[in-house]
Amino acid sequence: MTANTATDKAPTVRRAKRKRKRQPAASQELPEQMAAPGPDEVTVPSNAATELLAYQGDLWRRGLRYLDTLRERADKMLEHEQAGKPPLLDFDYEMILDGRQLARPANYALLRITRVGDDCLEDCLDESKPPVMIIDPRAGHGPGIGGFKRDSEVGMALHLGHPVYFVIFFPEPVAGQTLEDVQHVLRRFVETLGERHPGKPPVLYGNCQAGWAIVLLSADCEGLVGPAVLNGSPLSYWSGESGVNPMRLAGGLLGGAWLTHLIADLGDGRFDGAHLAANFESLKPANTLWQKDYQLFADIDGQRERFLAFERWWAGFYTLSKEEITAIVENLFIGNKLERGELQICPGCTVDLKHIRNPLVIFASSGDNITPPHQALNWVPAVYPDTEALKAAGQRIIYLLNPHVGHLGIFVSAKVARLEHRAILESVGELNDLAPGLYEMKIDNPTGDPDCHKPQFQVHFEERRVEELDYPEQEPAFEQVKALSTHNVALYETFVGPWVRLFVTPWSAEALRQLHPARTSRLIFSERFAPWMGSVKWLAEIVETMPTPVDSNNPYRQWETLMSEAITSTLTLAGTSRDSVFEMVFKGLYGRRPAR
């Protein structure tokens, strides 16, 4: 067994933040005294020269520290790669089972969380509670998003006394690895937990695409698993709202899954996760091209450590095998086969969601433009045509909706972890006592103050009807996309794919990976590639000791905020216009307007 030696960095970060005076980021609501005035409201005081000099000094200081932060991000990215990209968990762990050593191998491993900083878990574990097994998504990044800080899914489960296990995956897949291999390994993990905790079926926690794996396990492991929690998991990928969820149109606009086959072939049978990360970033050009960096620049003292911690995970790109990524795109994204009961995980083995008997908790957010509530919930009326059918099946489905948090916030927000995730975990014992049916989970009097002994809020379940999940029906246009994709993939694999695979070499595949813009845009700030960044580091250390930043009422700082808001608005409008054009093109190609 191996153990993680990660140190407890999170408290240090929080202490450092408290020592500094924070400046609100551009995207945050500004307090009244910092509200950005209109052009006619700014009054330059009589000491304008002094104000200008102070602002220029602060601009110079922030600029140097911003560049130094980008340098440190690049260096941490290289260090992480050289270390083999270990999981970024803020908890010590031991490896229980390595999926690469099983008879049917896959690049997964089962970890047991053993320690939080200096605190041994044996002092707070509640032996009467079932274990919690958390699975992170393979969506281009490495594992750890469910536990890379204390206020997280892992942290809340530990705080409530559950034995916690975490499923990780390694940077490279096993050669020829398939979804069937992955499911075989995950089932073995569930069986291992059954052996270690007899009579206590584990609570399965799946984030985003890991929700698919949880659903497949639930359908295949009846009686072996306890309640399953699906966080931002798109089980009905065709569903969505016109003008809000453009990603679901990508398959039709690109002509189907043939491009996925091509990229995987150019990668010598590997699909670079940097492509998936770039797709996510393209959804919000205003945030990707401006807001994220300006928030760091505007509040460099308060945002630096948070930015570096998140980017260390975001820039850790992992790969998938061609067999995995093409199966995901063809069956789940474009084919929508899981909801329709047509997904074959292996020859002769079709996944039927009606076979799921363990309670399901679906956590979605109206502010999530990647997995909106439509995609998280619309499979329910597709599988169970009415409430009576759901009750006759003996199933309990509970959903919890957040009004505003974004996709990643469902997994990484400390506020969400302290409230929604804690409430879910505190309520797992009640789920089996519910009568079959559909329920909405409500949280009353939330405080957000975690306390594993004295709950600070109340949770209740309000019965709903399946008929109330009245999302728009899926358009026949997506059926046309599915047919076109099948045709184009057949053409590619017959006439193009063999030639691509003939000329691709491991060297050319690695060169393409290293030259991906998601990597080069970060690594160009490393001292290894730009030696002059060493001088930036030296200057940043000097300016860090400069006096407190200029007051927020400085008119030049206010004009800077106004300019940032103008740039953000322009890029947001550009992104909205682009999405509108995509929808019009989709309508023109496939004859009917997408569901809205």
Q: What is the pTM of this model?
A: 0.88
CA–CA distance from 216 to each of 71, 135, 151, 466, 561 (Å)? Answer: 42, 13, 28, 22, 48
Of 422, 444, 468, the last residue of a domain is 468
Of 468, 494, 527, the last residue of a domain is 468
Same-domain status, 487 and 545: yes
Cβ neighbours of residue 573 under 8 Å, at least 6 residues apart? Answer: none
Same-domain status, 229 and 244: no
How many whole angstroms separate alpha carbon 61 and alpha carbon 68?
11
Same-domain status, 410 and 423: yes
Residue 244's pLDDT is what? 77
- 293 lies in which domain range? 45-83+240-323+475-596
Same-domain status, 442 and 488: no
Same-domain status, 164 and 246: no
Q: How many domains does the chain contain in total?
A: 2
CATH number at residue 148: 3.40.50.1820
Quick check: is 63 in a domain?
yes
Same-domain status, 68 and 210: no
Quick check: is 71 in a domain?
yes
Same-domain status, 257 and 199: no
Same-domain status, 541 and 589: yes
How many whole angstroms separate alpha carbon 121 and alpha carbon 128?
15
Are 399 and 441 within 8 A, CB to CB? yes
Residue 425's pLDDT is what? 93
Cβ count near 78 (within 10 Å) = 16
Quick check: is 124 in a domain?
yes
How many whole angstroms separate alpha carbon 81 and alpha carbon 315?
10
Same-domain status, 381 and 405: yes
Quick check: is 11 in a domain?
no
Quick check: is 30 in a domain?
no
Same-domain status, 512 and 586: yes
Residue 115's pLDDT is what? 79
How many whole angstroms separate alpha carbon 164 and alpha carbon 124?
12
Same-domain status, 229 and 100: yes
Quick check: is 187 in a domain?
yes
Quick check: is 549 in a domain?
yes
Q: What is the pLDDT along the chain (596 residues), one digit of tens a residue?
A: 444 444 343 333 333 333 344 344 433 333 333 344 444 444 444 578 888 998 999 999 999 999 999 999 999 999 999 999 999 999 999 999 999 999 999 999 999 998 776 665 666 788 889 999 999 999 899 999 899 888 899 999 998 889 999 999 999 999 999 999 999 999 999 999 999 999 999 999 999 989 989 999 898 877 789 999 999 999 998 888 877 788 899 999 999 999 999 999 999 999 999 999 999 999 999 999 999 999 999 999 999 999 999 999 999 999 999 999 999 999 999 999 998 888 888 777 888 899 899 999 999 999 998 899 999 999 999 999 999 999 999 999 999 999 999 999 999 898 899 899 999 999 998 998 999 999 999 998 766 665 545 567 889 999 999 999 988 776 788 999 999 999 999 999 999 999 999 999 999 999 999 999 999 999 999 999 999 999 999 999 998 887 777 888 889 999 999 999 999 999 999 999 999 999 999 989 987 554 44
Q: Which two tokens stand for residue 390?
A: 């759901």
Q: Which two tokens stand for residue 93?
A: 């762990």
Same-domain status, 315 and 198: no
Quick check: is 22 in a domain?
no
Of 468, 499, 525, the last residue of a domain is 468
CA–CA distance from 517 to each of 94, 288, 490, 513 (Å)? Answer: 35, 13, 30, 9
Residue 347's pLDDT is what? 78
